[in-house]
Amino acid sequence: MKNCVFCRIIAGEEPANVVYEDDDVIVFRNLLTWAPLMLLAVPKHHITQEQMWGEISKIGPVALRIAQAHCPDGFRLVSNFGPEGGQSQEHAHLHILGGSHLGRYVFTEGYSPA
């Protein structure tokens, strides 16, 4: 898709710091830096988060292997769904977060748990 930054990265039209790539999945460094390690595991074909979870057997093992290699002391695999869930890209992806103790949860400003 022409307006999808992930599709442009996969096509080589946008730069990315790629740490892994095979026929189905690409993993690259996220531009966000609020955790020491922030990678994005992205299926190479444009699908939704829901579709990705239906075929997690392709991206799940790659994300797990990369996370274990980069963060042997622990990590998070995060998948956001929709605007209220924090999803900013329509192209399916998993966040690989780690590199330090990440705390129990991340709350947005102004939110307080009941």
Quick check: 47 and 92 in contact, CB under 8 A? Answer: yes
Kindly tell me the number of DSSP H helices and DSSP E strands found in the chain. 3, 5
Residue type, 84: E
Q: Is 93 noted as a catalytic residue in this protein?
A: yes
Catalytic residue among 46, 93, 95, 101: 93
- DSSP for 67-93? HHHH-TT-EEEE---TGGGT---SS--
Q: Which residues are catalytic?
A: 93
